[in-house]
A and B are shown apart, each in its own frame.
Chain A
């Protein structure tokens, strides 16, 4: 749905010239030495239709900049961005407006509501600028208000709402035109933990109805795990690893990723598949577990039994799971120590 190749964004006096001088791909050190700020460094990724891709990274790692390059709110210094087959960077101003009017939606960290418009007027603003007539807007506003759970608040102004409610309005506005792709830049960071949790559930509920292609930014790993199909980790503008949560935990590409994954509840992420051993001589009567099941679900059975259990996938036995393997994977002494020292 979206694919970008070698996207660079440098801040500084004349970034284009600088990139050219260095043959299009300077080393990070060269960039820093010259005083340029590397916000996005040679980023390439593809977002599949209907997928939730979460971008993660520390503050200042370039998440927002990357997403804004994907929607061309920021002009990348170099690279290419394709949106549903269209070369976004070559699109004219008019085409760009058209794409944004019909195919993109975005939710912002600080809500970015228009203070002078009511909730309903905020929500249908994208329709208004397209010139949709007011009766259609009215009915669409009612639909969206119901969808995001704000019935009866259409006439209120943003400042009359709580933070969580305001972000619902932001979400509603970004959905008003039924976009194909949905960008969310830390949509829940400004909310307190309880509301955040609630909004995450809300988000999952919406996605189960809407099936959008989503790029979601967060710097909260547990949020990423709850929501993501795949996670991309950014460090100083670079995408250092991109994959499913389990891959990040079991095969971290760098110590940085390892450090990120360190505090997660591994039993919620790891599946039988990733910790199983050879079928070996496991007893056939010890019981079976599904290869895709997370450890938390199967641990009681495995730990209660004395002999290894069989791991099955699509009816075929693919491996065996011992008590020790589970204990090692979740609380594993050697591995986590290795992770600790590696992180330092």
Chain B
């Protein structure tokens, strides 16, 4: 160690640049960009046009269109038609989707699809059960799928709503105690009483089919990556891209091949939900402590035993987190898939929003929110469960109260349906609607707040947003490229510089530079507002444990809501345009800003704070001089999330209209098949913008955290 001190070589220029920090560093990194800007502004003659704006390149979208046409109409390699393949896949999904819907809401008729698919189905479900819950869950899943087989063969009625509500309560009680039972009961009762039962059950029936499939595929991919380095090297970048692509990038191409409807939504949803599961599986298997693995080896495990008896079960908590995420992603995406005609809770919401029936839209929005919360809390509670020893001093009945209650609910419900039809299907006149009330409020707002809201909106647009947009669009692409590359070089060396420079160059040549800037400006504007709102809330919430816990709950709740939901209140207030979109993005993206600020501040070691206090710091000094610098990398990671969230929502909010940018191109592709190529490239641009920010910020945070000695 002493040797390094003695023989420290003279510092290279590069090292010295690398050591500058704060303002000086910012200036240093900005300087090449500033030079370019000065030349651009002061001596436009010296600055060739193509370095500022590339002409209207459209070769990428055209290629994409041609590729799509080719896939659609031609034989691939002269062997088969790609479209036929996708249609076949969607055909396979048709059975389980229909069955699941029959079971939950429609009532059964026999398909007569033969024994083989059923065997596959039963085996699949039993396997998933075994994977996540051991033999008990395997037996349960096996029994349920067997029941479904019988159900299909003879055709029963759908499960009565009273039974479902009862089962939700019992499952809630089993997984999380009385509070969760009450929550599950209240949520499912709302669905029934507000006449959203049928649509909810359709959504649920789709989720029940796609979530296990997505979990299975994601799990398999994660497993393969954990076992083969080369596959991991391949998979991780693909996951990165997939997770920063907006939802529509999944929905649109698929609807081209499969057509509008439930199947298209289901397939897009499966693909969309695979990445988190794959990631968490990989993470879980990697995080099995080496000692535990060694204990397996010393016990004489073969490779196979190692995987199935040691690694898999030891990684189960992570798998369960993955399953929770899959479930929530599936739910959100299924709702959003109403854009390509998938039925369920999303479709009426979309229609009501488009026809500005805000009251009804609100009711469906609340239904979506409640269902999301219910699914999330139930699956989280399932994941948080840890095995406990069995108390054999109790009788069998005492040890299995919930199984008995569940059986009681099923039998009781069945009996009830014999007594009254109403137990099977809730009669319409028992349902209520608060829509008129909300309509009145909206009318009142429109009447009385129209001018202040309108004034605010117009001010924002004219004075803030449009100038900002023009500024972004006037940026010469080469300037942005140099800037991004410089930042990349500072935090990740030449490699990172090359990567991010390639990204910006891609944007410049994609044919959507202007649109990309238009999208970027809105997201950056939202980022600024989110930070201004979110960071103070984060600071406030991090000060006491109680606030922290309370804010945490709120954030968790916000986080599971499908992004679509955020449009409802915004449309109520601003109808259309960039301010509406901005507001929606801000609401959505403030969540990670608060979360990461809070996390960063909470993670500052206590002894460090005590040391500062003992040095006589006031509370603000502690915050400014100790906590904030320590938490800064984490807060930057929060910014990263804000950007990614913002990018996803800016695309969705294109649907409310009045803003240009990538989202518009993507949405156009929804109605015009000839523009799907454009839509795909635009979607890819969104991913590239996100990845650029992601690469820069995560590298920065890693470097800085290493310097600070935190992880």
Contacts and interface: CB of A to CB of B under 8 A. Distances in A.
Interface of A: 68, 71, 73, 97-98, 100-102, 104-106, 108-118, 125-126, 128-130, 155-157, 159-160, 170, 173-174, 183
Interface stretch (B197-205, B385-393, B470-478, B589-597): B385-393
Contact of B309 (A97, A110, A129, A130): A129
A112 B291 contact: yes
Contact of A157 (B294, B313, B316, B386): B386
A106 B298 contact: yes
Nearest to B291: A112
Given A111-B291, A114-B313, 19 more contacts: A73-B297, A100-B298, A101-B300, A105-B298, A106-B295, A114-B295, A114-B314, A115-B313, A115-B314, A116-B134, A118-B389, A126-B300, A128-B309, A129-B309, A155-B390, A157-B386, A157-B387, A170-B295, A173-B295
Contact of B389 (A98, A110, A129, A160): A160
A160 B388 contact: yes
Interface in B97-151: 134
Contact of B299 (A68, A101, A183): A101
B505 interface: no
Nearest to A72: B297
B305 interface: yes
A108 B295 contact: yes
A156 B313 CA distance: 17
B301 interface: yes
B285 to A, nearest CB: 14
Given A114-B314, A156-B389, A129 B298 contact: no
A183 B291 CA distance: 13
Chain A binding surface SS class: mixed
Contacts of A114: 292, 295, 310, 313-314
A147 to B, nearest CB: 18
B308 to A, nearest CB: 11
Contacts of A173: 295, 299
A174 B302 CA distance: 17
Contacts of A174: 298
A110 B302 CA distance: 23
Interface of B: 134, 289, 291-292, 294-295, 297-302, 305, 309-310, 313-314, 316, 386-390, 392
Given A109-B291, A112-B289, A116-B316, A155 B302 contact: no
B291 A108 contact: yes
Q: Which 8 A-B pairs have the closest CB atoms?
A: A101-B300, A112-B291, A126-B299, A116-B313, A112-B295, A156-B389, A106-B298, A100-B300
A40 B210 CA distance: 52
Nearest to A130: B300
A64 B259 CA distance: 61
Contacts of A118: 387, 389
13 contacts: A71-B298, A97-B302, A102-B300, A104-B298, A106-B298, A108-B291, A114-B313, A116-B387, A118-B389, A128-B309, A129-B301, A155-B389, A173-B295
A158 B223 CA distance: 26
A73 B302 contact: no
Nearest to A156: B389
Contacts of B389: 118, 155-157, 160
A129 B299 contact: yes
B130 to A, nearest CB: 13
Given A110-B289, A157-B387, A129 B302 contact: yes
Contacts of B297: 73, 100
Contacts of B309: 125, 128-129
Contacts of A73: 294, 297-298
A157 B299 CA distance: 19
Nearest to A174: B298
Contacts of B301: 97, 129
B320 to A, nearest CB: 12
A173 to B, nearest CB: 7
A116 B314 contact: yes
Nearest to B298: A106
B388 A157 contact: yes
B300 A129 contact: yes
Contacts of B388: 157, 160
A106 B289 CA distance: 16
Contacts of B134: 116
